[in-house]
Amino acid sequence: MTSLALPNAAPDVARITVILGTGGTIAGTAASAQDSVGYRAAQLGVAALVAAVPALQGLALEAEQVAQIDSKDMSAAVWQALARRAAAHLARPEVGGVVVTHGTDTLEETAYFLHRVLAPTKPLVLTAAMRPATALLADGPQNLFDAVMLARQRDACGVMAVLAGEVFAATALRKCHTFRLDAFEAGDAGLLAAVENGVLRRFREAPAAVALGLQTIAAAPDAWPRVEIVLNHAGADGRLVDALVAQGLQGLVLAGTGNGSLSASLEAAALRAQAAGVRVLRASRCAHGALLGDGSPLPGAGALSAVQARIELLLQGLLARPG
């Protein structure tokens, strides 16, 4: 199955697009239209976001509020609820695709989580905004419109994100800017497509994936494994890792320098953690690039970012739970 529709493929007008709201700046409001920083995220309901886009009126849409949070506060409980609601809607024959409105801060984590758990055969499109809904030139309405256009493509499938007219595979999405409207990059993987005037122009296929399934994440959120990320930096030592292990750490991602390198004392602490049964993965603190084999005794996370590697360890820990 192709991951995206052919260029200019017909939208699936017969089927419903479900829009799941989770909050974020796209649903944020500020006291003044000039303020794109001092706002409160997650103030408007998803139905209000849809109503603010006249071009969506008359389309077969349903809206459902799954959460109402600033995505910096994303939690296992919200991920679990979101995965379940998305899966339930995607399983309905009359639904062509699902859109999720979300904050930008942890968008790449939610996208990767849904990709690994659901790997859907219909489009599951995440979108967000860098400016609140009250801004002079809010980006949310256009992003939401583009996401719905992508979710209505008949041949599209998989977890994607669309922002500023750019379509990203869940695996490649990285937030790389604090303020710009085009805050996301796809790095070496490149964009999947562009949405231009409501029309999809395709560049490449998304990587195929096998769904782990909802049963993988069935454990109560407070029973999910504790997985932390520790950064290598000038002067980094192993004391933080030792303290985390003493607190019952179950997974450790090391955001190494460059090709995942670690200071000698941080590497020694990570090896002690690994010997004590903690799952360890090395990633890089660089925004882009993959780890190349360098003979390290600590496994590398390949092209996964540190936050994606953390999700891998969470899922590995959940999969390893007894019965």
β-bridge mates for residue 205, sequence order: none
Candidates 71, 101, 110, 127: give the one binding ligand ASP (CB under 6 A).
71
Burial 235-244 (b: 16+ CB within 10 A, else e): ebebeebeeb
Selected from 6, 55, 72, 94, the binder of ligand ASP by CB under 6 A is 72
Instruction: Using CB under 6 A, pick the residue from 105, 155, 228, 242 that binds ligand ASP.
Output: 105
Q: Considering the rule CB under 6 A, would residue 103 count as an interface residue with ligand ASP?
A: yes
Q: Where are the alpha helices (DSSP H) in the chain?
A: 46-51, 76-90, 107-118, 140-151, 239-246, 264-275, 306-319
Q: Which of 53, 219 has the CB closer to ligand ASP?
A: 53
Nearer of residues 36 and 250 to ligand ASP, judged by Cβ: 36
Active site residues: 25
**Interface with ligand ASP includes 64 (CB under 6 A)?**
no
Please name the amino acid found at residue 321: R
Closest separation in Å from C-beta 185 to ligand ASP? 15
Count the residues of the shown chain that bind ligand ASP, applying the rule CB under 6 A. Answer: 11
CA distance 321 to 2: 34
Q: Using the rule CB under 6 A, is 36 a contact of ligand ASP?
A: no
Using Cβ positions, the residue closest to ligand ASP within the complex turns out to be: 103
Q: Which stretch binds ligand ASP (CB under 6 A): 32-40, 50-58, 65-73, 270-278?
A: 65-73
Write out the two tokens for 228: 């932390």
Nearer to ligand ASP, 25 or 250 (CB): 25
What does the block give as tokens for 171?
Answer: 């695996």
Q: Which of 4, 17, 19, 24 binds ligand ASP (CB under 6 A)?
A: 24
Query: How many CB atoms neighbour CB 213 within 10 A?
Result: 13
Distance CA 266, CA 270 (A): 6
Which one of 25, 101, 143, 250 is in contact with ligand ASP (CB under 6 A)?
25
- In the complex, the smallest distance separating the C-beta of residue 137 from ligand ASP, rounded to whole angstroms, is 15
Helices 107-118, 306-319: axis angle to 10 degrees equals 40
Q: What number of CA atoms fall less than 13 Å from residue 142's CA on the CB side?
A: 16
Q: How many residues comprise the chain?
A: 323
Longest dimension (CA), the chain: 61
From first CA to last CA, the distance across the chain in angstroms is 33
Stretch that binds ligand ASP, among 52-60, 64-72, 159-167, 314-322 (CB under 6 A): 64-72
Shortest distance, position 279 Cβ to ligand ASP, whole Å: 27
- Among 16, 20, 41, 313, the residue binding ligand ASP under the rule CB under 6 A is 41
Whichever of 46 and 301 has its CB closer to ligand ASP, that residue is 46
Of the candidate residues 17, 36, 101, 104, the single one contacting ligand ASP (CB under 6 A): 104
Q: Bridge-partner residues for 65, per DSSP?
A: 21
Name residue 96's amino acid: G
Phi and psi angles of residue 159, each rounded to the nearest 5 degrees, phi first: -90, 125
Nearer to ligand ASP, 26 or 241 (CB): 26
- Nearest by Cα to 233 from 255, 249, 253, 218: 255
Name the residues that contact ligand ASP, by CB under 6 A. Answer: 24-25, 41, 70-72, 103-105, 128, 130
